[in-house]
Amino acid sequence: MDYNSYEEKQARRAREEKVKNFHVHMNMEDLAVGDQYRELENLDEPQPESISSFSDDDVRKQMKKSSRNMAKEELKAAKKQQKYIDRQNRRIFRVLWWVSVGIVGAMIAMFMLVGINDMLAITRAGDVKVKISIPQNPTLTDVSTELKNKGVIGEKSFFELYAKLTKNEKFSQGDYEIDTNLDYEAIINYLALMTNRTDKITVTVTEGMNVQEMAAFFVKKRVLSDEKRFLELCNSDYFDEDYKFINTKNAKQRYYKLEGYLFPDTYECYTNERPELTITRMLNNYEGRTTTSQEVSGFKKLVNIKKLFKNGKVKVKNSKYTMDRILTIASIIQAEAGSTEDMYNVSSVIYNRLEEGAQSDVYRLELDSTKYYPYRKKSKIPADERASFTSRYNTYKKIGLPPGPICNPGMQAIMAALYPNDTSYLYFCHDSDGTAYYADNFESHKYNLQEAGLL
């Protein structure tokens, strides 16, 4: 048998151990046999190296068991080695993690230090004014880029972070002159005030303009970028809550609910401003004008319009009219009259027809200015609607006043609507020079038409 292999050596040791523990029990009659046995030790015949009681199966089992034990020892040693490696890796990871934290912390600290210095305007030049231009519908990035480029701020990212944290991300279009030594809060507050804008436009809205004409006028003057939003707001309930004087009772019958309330005057506006701002400015002016004392032409006295009204109505020629009705009459006067003096006679014609016209077979106002509203004249009606268009304000077909004003009257027209001349006129006309002709009856009116060159 070859015992060179490891497993064979293990089997051999096991057999030898077994022999050592093996005892042969003999009786006295066997002693002679024993002597004979000892004599055999001197014989030259080969003797077995050991005596074993193991079978081949026992050997194989012992070898398998030894192999398993060794495998377990090797696995245990491998696990121990892996644990050691893992501990080493964790130590390296911790070191790298803390190094990274230190680097990031240093970077954040530097960012915060530089940013805070810029936020407080510590590192920026002082007492220098620069011009900046914020575009229409600007984003926070648009604003911060412009401020950075013009030297108003030094740290664009930090300014954006500050604006987001303080919830000041919305800015308005405009041109400004701003100091470069302002802190972030002062910059934001400065840009929030419309009065700081330098792109101001002075415009004069003339008496008698209607809503559509105003919209086109504001676009032409670059106050508005387009007409659509302005016209939508003029027929919406956007301003109802803030301005209680706006009539809402017959809103569906009107073309534009705010017609008549956009007071004509000279205004200081801004380039491409929000139409909400434009309309608010005009409504505020109307409210102020109709709640303060105004001089009435020809009366040489001050009249507080608000005091003329009780429960929203004013007494005129023994009839009660709401302020909205007064505005409607004033708008017609504004559109029809040729002069301030003429306004009071035109006013008398309107009231005479409303109050006493039926007695003279005059049942309608029949005023040219109402025929095509909301358009000024027939040629202004869109071509595809012109042939079939019928205005809801046409006083040639409608009895009484139209649903609302046909334009935005000035204060003189409002005064004429409040204080008409005391006449018996039922008719009027004007020649090409604006000279007015009045008549009590139709025959006299026909004569005046000929005199005015209208027949």
For the chain, 455 residues long, the average pLDDT of each consecutive 10-residue run is 57 65 47 46 50 59 73 76 75 70 65 66 76 92 93 88 90 91 90 90 97 97 95 96 89 95 96 95 93 63 62 58 91 96 95 92 95 95 93 95 97 91 95 94 95 91
Q: Tell me 157's DSSP state.
A: H
* The model scores a pTM over 0.85: no
The domain ranges of the chain are 129-196, 212-289, 307-451
Cβ(208)–Cβ(186) under 8 Å?
A: no
Task: Quote the pLDDT of residue 307.
Answer: 63
Q: How far apart are CA 98 and CA 37, in angstroms?
A: 84
Contacts of 268 (CB under 8 A, 6+ apart): 200, 201, 202
Q: Is 384 exposed, middle or buried (CB count within 10 Å of its CB: 0-12, 13-18, 19+)?
A: exposed
Q: How far apart are CA 256 and CA 374, in angstroms?
A: 8
- Report residue 278 as tokens: 């434009």
Task: Quote the pLDDT of residue 27.
Answer: 46
β-pairing verdict for 200-204 and 174-179:
unpaired
CATH for 129-196?
3.30.1490.480
